[in-house]
Structure 1
Amino acid sequence: MTEAGAPAVRRCALNSEENILAEQEFMPAVRAMVGREYGRVYAWDVVNAPMIRQWCEVMGVDNPLYTDADYAASSEHGGIVAPPAMLQAWCLEGLHMNNYAPGSTDENPYEVLKLLEANGYASVVAVNSELSFARYLKLGEKLYYTTRLDAVGEEKTTGLGTGFFVTLIMSFFSEKPEGDEPVGQLLFRVFKFRPANPVKAVEQGEAAAAIPKIKRSKPGISDDNRFFWEGCDKGQLLIQRCTACSTLRHPPAPVCSSCHSFDWDSQVASGKATLYSFVVMHYPEVPPFDYPNPIGLIELEEGVRLVAGLVGVKRDELAIGQALQVEFHTFDDELTLPMFRPVAE
């Protein structure tokens, strides 16, 4: 190594040490939060049979202890009980974010995550979730939970990047005149990190290196679904149709689920649809998508459903059942996708 190069190496090492020290200045504030318990979040409703029935229907659970009053009455429980896995569902805020039941705390149990984000650990990935139960819940019980910041681990370097494992524990209680009773617990752990390969800033005066544009992943195309993608290229939304019994199906498949025929053709859909359900993706942000990223479960006028992106709408404007119309968007000059835009009723 030349003498001219040596000082630069020493400066880099010094700057690295200074950065590490600066990064750790915020950790006392983080550590001070560990062990803090945040106030109650109440359930909107008492444990009730309609919600249990709907949950069982959605999850495909047919245990008569949960839905058959006569059968449950003859059991050791003496009546209908709630599926243990429903524990978290009782205290959720509902369709609208942070719409908690009256009396719930307005404290933010995730403030430690905000502090980590402010100090450069902006990415997040869920690590694990563990739900435990003390007993079955019976009809009429009113629940609430409290949240404790259980632990913030030492800084770790993983394949994703460098950051901290953060563990929160939600403890669920049933309100009782003689004293509230613990009924279960949810452990939730996330990893807040700096990505392993961030885009590095160049020194002042140097030209920024060209960053390759990340393209959308191409779909897997087979003999069963090639017609669908060729239709998109032509601006047509094609739905597979069984020629034996005329049943429409999506996603495309080699055989009809109704009559088991292998013969099929396709039908051009009108493109008119309604929003059956939706999610809005926030994290982790994966290029090249824009965030927040609304994705809908679309029910076509013809009766079949498909998953597609939603355009021209904000999160608080999305509503189950709203009318939609297909439009085709081309990405990277090579991939055409059906997207859906809300339309006036």
Structure 2
Amino acid sequence: MSEYDWLSEVRALVGREYGRVYAWDEVNPMMVRQWCEVMGIENPLYTDPEYAKQSEFGELVAPPAMLQPWCLEGLHMNNYPPGSTDENPYEVLGLLEQQGYPSVVAVNSELNFERYLRMGEKLYYTTIIKEVSEEKTTALGTGFFVTQIMPFYSVKEAGDEKVGELLFRVFKFRPAHSKASFENKSAAEKPDATKTDAIPRPYPGISDDTRFFWDGCAKHELRIQHCKSCDALQHPPAPVCSHCQSFDLDYKVSAGTGEIYSFVVMHYPEVPPFDYPNPIGLIELDDGVRMIAGLVGVNISELEIGQRVEVEFTSFDDDLVLPLFRSKSG
């Protein structure tokens, strides 16, 4: 596709390296222990000093997969420690949003490790805009792949040492279900990225395996995949039964009642057309399966694990029906 004039501002950011984001704490055994407990990691190399003393390292080391968590801001958004940059490494995504590419999906994330981290090390990372692709058309829509690299360093008196790297790629796109192409619309018809009501909800990816579920939503039925061989239910839908590997599948209609097994409240990034804060729940249905869905009509400050909820089918943009969940009365 031909280049747009406004893309020159976007491409000018490629190769730019944004300033340091420091870790709040040094690598320490308390946080390693807690992380291992949460993740179910039982390797004594990370938590047993006596065992680690006999290893090739001679002391405790941190799990490599903890590389990124050391430099997270914590509970409050953009709450980075003193000395961290105040630059916005995601400004390239904002520029694309301004041009009518509001939706985002993470395509891939890759962590590479140079070595194990030892207790007492202080880390930071920088952000480099590695690439902005040509305009691409996918099943989701038309947009641009943006690739960022975050190299992580350990602070050293003799010179900071690179200890790992995170590659993060996202797809910023205009949803494919638009009734007319962006280019064919008049200026008055083009969506204003600053107005959430002008941007439609992105459509789910629908395949032969999941079509029955979305057809059910259109009829206000919560359909759960059912194995006719072993009588098990499963969600999300799959081409084969995860219990007995049978291909003989149909569905059963759920009553749509259950409880919140877990939840998050999304604050950032704010992606149109969603409202923020945006509560999302992992719902354990009374049928015995779990599904992720938006929560509506709930008091965010009163959300809790085990809270009873029931499905509510909500229509968006006339022809998209999604199963959301609200607190169950009574």
Fold match (TM-score > 0.5): yes
* Cα RMSD for the two superposed structures: 4.2
Contact 1:308 1:340 in 2 (8 A): no
Alpha-carbon deviation of 1:280?
Answer: 2.8
| Offset from partner CA, 1:77-130 (integer Å, 9 cap, x none) | 111100111100100111222222222111100101111111122222212111
Map of 2:224 onto structure 1? 220
Letter matched to residue 339 of structure 1: R
**Higher Cα Rg: structure 1 or 2?**
1
Map of 1:69 onto structure 2? 49
Return 167-176 or 98-107, whichever deviates more.
98-107
Aligned pair 1:142/2:122, yes or no? Answer: yes
Map of 1:339 onto structure 2? 326
Q: Which structure 2 residues correspond to residues 77-226 of structure 1 after superposition, within 5 A? A: 77-200=57-180, 216=217, 218-220=222-224, 222=226
Say how many residue pairs are matched. 269
* Structure 1 portions without partners, runs of 5+: 1-19, 205-210, 238-270, 300-304
SS of the residue aligned with 2:12? Answer: helix
SS of the residue aligned with 1:146? Answer: strand
Return 122-131 or 86-95, whichever deviates more.
122-131
TM-score using structure 1 length: 0.64
Letter matched to residue 184 of structure 1: G
SS of the residue aligned with 2:177? Answer: coil
Map of 2:189 onto structure 1? none
Q: 1:61 to 1:45 in 2, by over 3 A?
A: same
| Offset from partner CA, 1:148-195 (integer Å, 9 cap, x none) | 111112222233332222111001011112221111101111122223
User: Matches of 1:104 and 1:180 in 2, distance apart?
Assistant: 16
* Structure 2 portions without partners, runs of 5+: 187-199, 204-213, 234-250, 285-289, 316-320
Map of 1:248 onto structure 2? none
Map of 2:238 onto structure 1? none
User: Matches of 2:298 and 2:279 in 1, distance apart?
Assistant: 8
Map of 2:194 onto structure 1? none
Alpha-carbon deviation of 1:285?
Answer: 7.6
Percent identity, please.
58
Q: Which structure: greater helix fraction?
A: 1
Contact 1:133 1:185 in 2 (8 A): yes
Letter matched to residue 40 of structure 2: G
SS of the residue aligned with 1:219? Answer: strand
TM-score using structure 2 length: 0.67
Contact 1:309 1:340 in 2 (8 A): no
